[in-house]
Amino acid sequence: MTNIVLFGKPGAGKGTQAEFLKEKYKLTHLSTGDIFRYNIKNATELGKLAQTYMDKGDLVPDEVTIKMLQSEVEKNPNTAGFLFDGFPRTISQAKALDVFLASKNEIITATIALEADDDILVARLLDRGKTSGRIDDQDEDKIRNRYQEYNEKTAPLMGYYKEQNKFHAVNGIGTIDEITVRLSDVIDNL
C-alpha cells in the first residue's frame, strides 16, 4: 500500500490536489474536513462534538478525530492505499496513526506539505467562504486563529516526519496543474 499524508494550512489546496492524486494513484482519499462535515450533517454524536470546536475555529481534539478516521479506514479494506488529507495535525495524532496502521501491517509512505504565504491563503479562504457556506471561511480572525493553531500544533510534524525521511515540501502557489506536477514528481520518486 501507498499511504500518503497531505498537509498544509487551511486553503493551501489539499482538497483540490487530493482529487487529482486519488485518481492518478488509485488511493482512497480521507479528508478529515469531509469526514467531519458528514458526521455533522448527519448529527452523529462525534459530529455534534466536532462542531462545537470548529465553530470557534479550533482544531477538533485528537480522540474525536482518530475515532472518525479509524472508522473510515475500516470501511476500505481493499484499497491500494490512503491519501490522508488534514490528518494528522499533531505529533500525538501522527503517533496514533502509526500505531493504528501498524496494527494493519501498514506504514505512512510519505508526507507532503503544500506551502504558501498566509496572506495568500487568507484571501483564498475568504473567497471560498463567499460560496462554500462555511462559517470558518468567512471571518479573517477565525482563519488566522486556525493558522496559529497550525503553527503551534501541526508545524512540528515536519520534524517528526523528517526524522523518518518521509517529509517533502511542495510549493503550493501556482496553477492547479503546476502544483499537481510538483506533487506527482515527489510521489513518482518515492
pLDDT for 73-129, tens place per residue?
A: 989 989 999 999 888 988 989 999 999 999 999 999 999 999 999 999 999 899 888
As assigned by CATH, the class of the 2-188 domain is alpha beta
H-helix or E-strand spanning residue 111 = strand 110-115
Count of other CB atoms within 10 angstroms of residue 83: 24
Count of H-run helices and E-run strands, the chain: 9, 5
- The whole-number pLDDT of residue 63 equals 85
In DSSP notation, 30-81 reads EEHHHHHHHHHHTT-HHHHHHHHHHTTTPPPPHHHHHHHHHHHHHT-TT-SE
Residue 165 predicted with pLDDT over 90: yes
